[in-house]
Amino acid sequence: MNSINNNSLLASSDNFPLIQSHAASDTIAWHNGVAISRQAFLKDVYIAASRLPEGQYAINLCEDRYWFLVGFSALLVRKQTNLLPPNRAVHVIEEIAHEYSGAYCLCDTNEPDLDIPVHKININRPGDTEETYPVPLIPGRHLAAIAFTSGSTGKARPHQKFWKDLILGARMKQKRFGFGKKSGIQTIFVTVPPQHMYGLETSILNPLINGVSVYTNKIFFPADINCALRNVPEPRVLITTPIHMKSCVETGLEWPRIDLVISATAPLDKSLAIQAEELFNCPIMEIYGCTEANSMASRRTVTDKHWLLYDDISLKQKADNCFVSGPNLPEDIPLQDVIEVINDREFILHGRNADMIIIGGKRASLEDLNCRLRSIDGILDAAFIIPDSDDNKHTKLAALVVSPALDAVEIRNKLALKIDAVFLPRPLYIVDKLPRSETGKLARSALLELLDKMRNTD
């Protein structure tokens, strides 16, 4: 067993606490219906850290959010780096392990069938503890994590996240959304996995830095979310995606009091935001961000067209590209979106560069086309896609649609009333479901695979 020398964790201007100035008895997590104090959490972190194998990198695959939080923190204590894969596909995990020599997998469930070393967190939790554990100090320049883009527009790309930068980013969100500022300890409920940058910022860094607690059991379906909210005292914040929000709106369930709902990972349609505000009886805030630069702006979708940057974040237009800069970023980061800068604080988002297409001399955003297609009554989900065989000179759009009530002809006729005829998809296939990830994203490779399958069976 590897030991930890706590005396070596000396305070300096370059070191930052793992947990930021909160009472030891405060709740940091709700796990299996039990409130876990920060002191009990630290005990689990020290135990987990003492058992970690030697190495520089660990692919953090923990599915239970509490054990991910413990594992993430234990790796920081041991000066190791969390690798956060875009998904759990075996070939993706093994590719990442190949890129980072000596990497092992950290898991909390049955060991995955992988051709790389696996270490399982195995801690029996007897309950709370009266013992005192020092808060570890982590060097600000420690490479805390490497997050990978989702691969929705191509190959997943790695982006380094240093501990000090993550802390600064968390404090920006605290100032914007008031995390930890209200009476009582806010509990956040998150429907996206912690391996995703949105999930990491909201459900892992928030409890560590901003003094909130996190509900750690997996919640995905509306009934699960509803039940979880009812089992934890107020104040409550729901952090989710447009896909999950739409499911909640369509269930017709009665919801307990929620103080705030935050959405990200995909554009939130204004009509859905209006329905959600009526259902939850609270503001629906939308976050703008990316894996490369983390979250950086927000808006209340019902009332705001413009996005408002976090304090200390700025945008710079250089030729046809827009760059974001801030104290939590190592350098100016180019954004992959088409952005119109309004002033020093506000901007309009027009869509992703990769989404912009030109057909017959006319320009459109794939995401805007998707929103218009999904807005048709009777359509549950849908996505446009440009087949690989096409190019910019001869672009043809295809579409995959989930609609038990409508056929392809009816959908195309209704869509013709909403978009220019040059963008009408040919072909358009009715499918049972789209291959969405846990965050609601659609990887281009998965859409192409489904499109080829439909073509072959046509």
Please state the domain extents for the chain. 6-351, 360-457
Q: Is 235 helix (H, G, I), strand (E, B) or coil?
A: coil
* Cα 98–chain centre separation: 25
What is the token pair recorded at 15? 């070191």
- Residue 365 and residue 355 in contact, taking contact as beta carbons nearer than 8 Å: yes
Q: How far apart are CA 241 and CA 267, in angstroms?
A: 9
Question: Which is the CATH superfamily of the domain at 360-457?
Answer: ANL, C-terminal domain (3.30.300.30)
Angle between helices 408-415 and 366-374 (to 10 degrees): 120
One pLDDT digit (tens) per residue for the chain, 458 residues: 333 333 333 344 589 999 986 788 899 999 998 999 999 999 999 999 999 999 999 999 999 999 999 999 999 999 999 999 988 888 889 899 999 999 999 999 876 778 899 999 988 775 666 778 899 999 999 999 999 986 555 567 899 999 999 999 999 999 999 998 665 679 999 999 999 999 999 999 999 999 999 999 999 899 999 999 999 999 999 999 998 998 999 888 999 999 999 999 888 989 999 999 999 999 999 999 999 999 999 999 999 999 999 999 999 988 778 999 999 999 999 998 889 999 999 999 987 766 778 786 777 878 888 888 988 988 988 999 988 754 444 568 999 999 998 999 999 999 999 898 889 998 999 999 999 877 777 888 889 999 999 988 87
- Any idea which architecture 6-351 has in CATH? 3-Layer(aba) Sandwich (3.40)
pTM of structure: 0.83
**In whole angstroms, what separates CA 133 from the centre of its chain?**
31
Distance in angstroms (rounded) separating the CA atoms of residues 309 and 82: 28
CA torsion, points 188, 189, 193, 195, in degrees to nearest 10?
0
Q: Comparing 6-351 with 360-457, is the CATH topology the same?
A: no
